[in-house]
Amino acid sequence: MLISKLTSKLILFVFLFFVSSCAVKYKLGKNDIKYDDDVTIGIYKMVEQGGQSGWIRSLVPARGHKFIATYISANNSGQTEKIINLEDFYLIDTVKKEKYPLVSAYLTSKVVFAAKSRLKLSENEIAKRMLLFSYPKKAKPSFIVFEDKLYPIRYN
C-alpha cells in the first residue's frame, strides 16, 4: 500500500516535532577560546539530549547522565595548517569536581556523520563540529577545559 505524499510529510513533521521537543537548548553568551594567535574556537550552541543516533549505532548516556551536544566553530585566520585535538575538550562538574571527556565528535550537518577527533584546519578555514559529552542529569555545565585550561561557560 502506497502512502500519499501528504501523509508521509505529516508523519515526518510529527516525528521531527517529537525528536526536537526532547532536547533542552541553553542560551549562550560569547564563549571564545584562543587556541593560538591564528585560531579561535567559539562555542555557539549547547543542547541537552537523551541519546544520539547515527547510521550504524545509537548512543545512550549512562544511568543518571544526559548528553550535552556542544557546537563549536574553529576559525584559522593564519597562513599555515593547524591541527586541533578535539579529545582535549572536557566539561567540568564544579560540585563533584570531575572532568567529563568527549564521547564522540560529529560533523554539523542535517544527517549525523561521525568526525575524526583530530580537526585539520587549512589556512583561512572555518570548521564546525558537534562535540558530545556525557554529563550528570541534574547539573548544568559551568566550565569547559581545553588543553588543561579552564574556561567559564557564559550563559544569557
Contact 130, 95 (CB under 8 A): no
Domains annotated for the chain, with CATH where assigned, are 23-152 (2.60.40.1240)
Q: Is 74 helix (H, G, I), strand (E, B) or coil?
A: strand
- 78, exposed or middle or buried, with CB in 10 Å at 0-12, 13-18, 19+? middle
Q: Can you give the pLDDT at residue 4?
A: 72
Q: Can you give the pLDDT at residue 17?
A: 45
- 135, exposed or middle or buried, with CB in 10 Å at 0-12, 13-18, 19+? buried
Contact 43, 153 (CB under 8 A): yes
Q: What are phi and psi of 99, to 5 degrees?
A: -100, 140
Return per-residue pLDDT of the chain as tens, 156 residues: 556 776 666 565 444 444 444 568 889 999 999 999 999 999 999 999 887 665 566 788 889 999 999 999 999 999 999 999 999 999 998 888 899 999 999 999 888 788 999 999 999 999 999 999 999 998 999 999 999 999 999 999
Instruction: Look at residues 39, 152, 45 and name the one whose alpha carbon lies nearest to residue 85.
Output: 39
Q: Can you give the pLDDT at residue 16?
A: 46
Q: Can you give the pLDDT at residue 154?
A: 96
Rounded to the nearest 10°, the torsion over CA 41, 45, 48, 52 is -70
Give dist(CA 88, CA 15) in Å, integer.
35
